[in-house]
Every structure is written in structure tokens, then in C-alpha cells.
């Protein structure tokens, strides 16, 4: 039985970028491009019409930017996953997009195979952020993670039990479910259950937001 293809919506104000993405992704058997958009203001209508699993979205657009569009999309009950496109590794807007609910980001000059892998990962509930990129973003975030932010993050995490806290720290270190399972002596389904419980309990949209909150709380610095 053939698996249902991942439904992908492309959003970028540059028609050449959209054409390039469509060309490189269009031949992949397990991904179906269901629509395109040229501005963040078109995204909600396009999502209603095409019902994508993943939106690959430019972060800088002239009318409604990708940050605003991501925030609006992730507020929906049936929100698709969002991967933002950028030209910079540590762009402040990328960090803001991750806080708004994006599941990761890819550079516009990323090799086609890595863009395809990013789409597959977020469709499967994993972040499209390598551990190296996660660490870079965390360092970038440190500049605005002062005492107030740390106290607020620690207050939010106070309701987690010890095991949930361990899973949150592992997610914050960029580990995939299988790696967390091995490290904490759990099964992968149990890890998924814990991640889902943490997301629901903290009102977060995805694993990247768990990672950012764990960083803000100082858990990755404390060696917990």
C-alpha cells in the first residue's frame, strides 16, 4: 500500500525561487506540491483551499511577512507545520519565527536533498534543525534571555515532573525521538507520549518551542 504523499504549499514572493523549489521538489515521489503563494497575506486562504501538511515559507515578503503568517497559521486548530526560508543562519527574524511556531528553517541555497529531508522531518513531527544549528540559534537567543525571561521560563516549566523535565532538556539539545529513547531508556512511543504531554501542558506548538523554553530557563546550561 502506497503511503499518502506529504502535501506541501510553497510561499515566496520571488517567482524564480518558487519555480526552483517546485522543480527540485516536484519529482519527489512522497511529496506533492498542492499550491503556491506570493505573499504571507495569501497563506490562510491557500491553506483553506489546499489543506497542506507543511508550508515552506519565505520569511521576508513585501506585504505580510513570513513571521506574521506563521503566527496566524499556528493559531489555527488544524495548523500545518511551517518551515521558513531564509538567506541567513542566525537571522533575528528566524528566531522570532521559531518562537511563533515554525518547526524549523532552511537556507535558500540549501542542497535539494536537505530541503526535501526538512519537509519530511517536520511532517513526521521532528524539527528541521540540526543540533549544530540549534546550538547556534540558542546562542543567538542568549542576548535577549535576561533575568526576566529566565524567571518566566522557569515558572512555566515548574509544573513538569522530573521525567518530563529530562525529556524537555533532551529535546532542547536537538535529539530526535530515537536518541532520547536510548539516552533515557524509554521506548520511542513513550518519548512521543511525553513530548505530546509537554506540548499540551505548556501550550506550545512544536518541539522547537520546547527547546527555546528549555534554553530560556537555563536548563541546557545547568547540566540537568
pLDDT tens profile 2-36: 578 999 999 999 999 899 889 888 888 899 999 99
DSSP string, 106-119: EETTS-HHHHHHHH
Residue 19: strand pairing partners: none
Averaged pLDDT for residues 191-198: 94
Cβ-based neighbours of 144, under 8 Å, separated by 6 or more: none
Report whether 6 contacts 54 (CB < 8 A): yes
Q: With cut-offs at 50, 70 and 90, classify the pLDDT of residue 1.
A: very low
Averaged pLDDT for residues 79-89: 83
Report whether 45 contacts 71 (CB < 8 A): no
Q: How far apart are CA 214 and CA 157, in angstroms?
A: 8
Closest CA to 186 of 208, 220, 163: 163
* pLDDT tens digits, 85-135: 887 665 567 777 778 888 888 888 888 888 898 899 889 887 777 555 666
Other C-beta atoms within 10 Å of 34: how many?
A: 18
Amino acid at each position: 500500500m502506497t503511503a499518502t504523499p506529504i502535501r506541501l504549499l510553497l510561499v515566496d514572493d520571488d517567482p524564480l525561487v518558487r519555480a526552483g523549489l517546485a522543480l527540485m521538489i516536484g519529482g519527489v515521489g512522497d511529496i506533492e506540491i498542492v499550491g503556491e503563494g506570493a505573499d504571507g497575506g495569501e497563506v490562510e486562504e491557500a491553506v483553506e483551499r489546499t489543506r497542506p501538511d507543511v508550508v515552506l515559507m519565505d520569511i521576508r515578503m513585501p506585504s505580510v511577512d513570513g513571521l506574521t503568517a506563521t503566527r496566524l497559521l499556528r493559531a489555527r486548530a488544524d495548523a500545518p507545520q511551517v518551515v521558513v526560508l531564509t538567506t541567513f543562519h542566525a537571522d533575528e527574524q528566524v528566531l522570532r519565527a521559531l518562537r511563533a511556531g515554525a518547526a524549523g528553517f532552511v537556507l535558500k541555497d540549501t542542497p535539494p536533498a536537505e530541503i526535501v529531508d526538512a519537509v519530511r522531518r517536520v511532517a513526521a513531527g521532528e524539527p528541521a534543525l540540526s543540533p549544530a544549528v540549534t546550538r547556534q540559534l540558542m546562542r543567538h537567543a542568549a542576548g535577549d534571555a535576561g533575568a526576566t525571561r529566565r524567571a518566566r521560563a522557569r515558572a512555566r516549566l515548574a509544573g513538569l515532573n522530573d521525567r518530563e523535565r529530562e525529556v524537555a532538556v533532551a529535546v532542547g539539545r536537538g535529539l530526535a525521538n530515537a536518541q532520547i529513547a536510548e539516552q533515557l531508556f524509554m521506548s520511542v512511543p513513550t518519548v512521543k507520549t511525553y513530548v505530546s504531554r509537554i506540548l499540551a501542558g505548556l501550550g506550545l506548538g512544536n518541539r522547537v518551542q520546547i527547546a527555546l523554553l528549555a534554553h530560556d530557563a537555563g536548563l541546557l546550561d545547568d547540566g540537568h
